[in-house]
Amino acid sequence: MKLIICGAGQVGYGIAERLSSEGNDVTVIDNSASLVQKIRDQLDVRGIVGHGSQPDILEAAGSEDADMVIAVTLYDEVNMVACQVAHSLFNVPVKVARIRAQNYLQSHYRDLFSREHMPIDVIISPEIEVGEMVLRRIALPGATDVVQFADGHMSMIAIECMEDCPVIDTPLGQLSELFPDLSAVVVGLYRNGQLFVPHVTDGMIAGDLAYVVVRSDRVRRTLNIFGHEEPAASRIVIVGGGNIGLYVAAAIESRQRHARVKVVENSRERAVDIADQLARTVVLHGSALDQQILLEADVEHADLMVALTNDDQVNILSSVMAKRLGCEANLALLNNTSYYEFTKTLGIDAHLNPRSVTISKILQHVRRGRIRGVHSVQNGAAEIIEAEALETSTLVGTPLRELDLPDGVRIGGIYRGDEAHVPDGGTVIQAKDRVVMFATAERVKQVEQMFRVSLDFF
């Protein structure tokens, strides 16, 4: 595909890195010459200095035959205009815009982005996407990753197998026999730095990270079977009162009325602003790296500290300090993937990559075929994909045990009608089924082909 990305910041860089690594023709536009030079030096992409909303710059980037424009600058209005110009002058098929201001996204303004007004096909709001991910992690403390598919009826959860995990060394094929109500399939294992699709005769060992596709109404039961019975946090300290921190605090106020939340914000002006917007949350002005401020936030008695600033170092250090002061658990927002290897050593229980959340949203529209949802795991080593099966698909009409699925691919769930099903060897996929499956990076293209319309169909 030929893709144009407007914006070479953290989000734009991450998207360009992922899409160029898959062999796509990628051009990045930014008005910062240094950012453009950096992306040229480090990635196999074209770089153009200029404003992505200006017609001559989009033309120079090759908009006339581009498949997609992805506008992810820091400015909503620039992103919107870039999509409008790409549509009106160059007829680019798919326009994606990052929109941060929630005023634009209110339901009674939804017609603004229709094809007749401002034609944007996909709106990305990273703050909301990341905020919802944080909220899911808070609600399910035993899971290190939680994503929903099939209109919320199925979930993918990543579960760390501890030493006392009851199902360690149990062949995966026996799990459904031992726990008939499990309604879950282990589709991937991350072990000693390697991600792979296990066979039914394989067992999990302590230290494994298991990726499990499960019916959403069985998530807590599945966590219990894996030995995770941690209660949801009720005393929470949030570091960072930016857009994500404010969104999370406000959502907890409305969804978990029993929870007590405190926010630590370094900017006095911002602290005053969010204090006016929150009803029951205590907002403290100060640095999260100041031990006295953390003690004022009562972090030593907190169930969870969530570090959500835009500075990885602050998130890491404040998380470590909180744990040393007695906080039960922590969750840190980390953009730099090179930090992931030593988070456990430092005492960081869980981390979240905001770029991967945004990239997953975009991949859903880059992937060919009837793809409904995509979630990237382990920095792109594999993807959880939800796709609609067509009549011409090679998956339709044959029992799963007879399908010649390639190594690195595992079907975890099927959504048919209004019901989620966990498949077994005798399950037969039907046309219009929505299939949730795990695929390692080198198998993603093959999965795309399974869900594309055959030429014989026409």
Q: Give me the residue label for tokens 């035959």.
A: 65
Q: What is the pLDDT of residue 369?
A: 66
Domain-located, residue 158: yes
State which residues form the domain around 170. Answer: 130-225
Q: What is the pLDDT of residue 357?
A: 81
Domain-located, residue 441: yes
The two structure tokens encoding residue 424: 């077994």
Distance CA 138, CA 121 (A): 31
Instruction: Note every long-range contact of 361-367, with CB atoms under 8 Å and residues 24 or more positions apart, other chains counting.
Output: 361/122, 361/124, 361/129, 362/15, 362/70, 362/96, 362/122, 362/124, 363/18, 365/68, 365/94, 365/96, 365/121, 365/122, 366/1, 366/3, 366/19, 366/24, 366/68, 367/444, 367/448
Residues 137 and 186 occupy one common structural domain: yes
Q: How many domains does the chain have?
A: 4
Give me the tens of pLDDT residue by residue for the chain, a chain 458 residues long. 899 999 998 889 988 998 898 889 999 999 999 999 999 999 999 999 999 999 999 999 999 999 999 999 999 999 999 999 999 999 999 999 999 887 777 777 777 777 777 888 888 888 888 999 999 999 888 898 899 999 999 999 999 998 889 999 999 988 888 888 788 999 999 999 899 999 989 999 999 999 999 999 999 999 999 999 888 899 999 999 999 999 999 999 999 888 999 999 999 999 999 999 999 999 999 999 999 999 999 999 999 999 999 999 999 999 999 999 999 999 999 988 788 878 888 888 888 888 888 888 888 777 776 888 899 898 889 999 999 998 888 899 999 999 888 899 999 999 998 899 989 889 999 999 999 999 999 999 888 888 875 544 33
Residues 69 and 54 occupy one common structural domain: yes
Residues 99 and 11 occupy one common structural domain: yes
Last residue of a domain, one of 104, 124, 144: 124
Last residue of a domain, one of 225, 260, 293: 225
Q: What is the pLDDT of residue 355?
A: 80
Describe the strand order of the beta sheet including 409-416 as a list of residue ranges. Answer: 371-377, 382-388, 434-440, 409-416, 419-421
Residues 109 and 190 occupy one common structural domain: no
Q: What is the pLDDT of residue 213?
A: 96
**Residue type for position 395:** L
Residues 46 and 98 occupy one common structural domain: yes
Domain-located, residue 343: no
Residues 206 and 291 occupy one common structural domain: no
Domain-located, residue 345: no
CATH number of the domain residue 14 falls in = 3.40.50.720
Residues 120 and 136 occupy one common structural domain: no
Q: What is the pLDDT of residue 453?
A: 58
Last residue of a domain, one of 124, 145, 179: 124
pTM greater than 0.85:
no
Domain-located, residue 352: no
In 182-277, where does DSSP find H-type helix? Answer: 219-225, 243-255, 268-277
- Residue 393 near residue 420 (C-beta atoms within 8 A): no
Residues 256 and 323 occupy one common structural domain: yes
Largest CA distance in the chain: 70
Q: What is the pLDDT of residue 456?
A: 42
Q: Give me the residue label for tokens 């991600």.
A: 195
CATH number of the domain residue 187 falls in = 3.30.70.1450
Residues 147 and 116 occupy one common structural domain: no
Residues 6 and 83 occupy one common structural domain: yes
Residues 48 and 117 occupy one common structural domain: yes
Domain-located, residue 211: yes
Residues 45 and 112 occupy one common structural domain: yes
Domain-located, residue 337: no
Domain-located, residue 269: yes
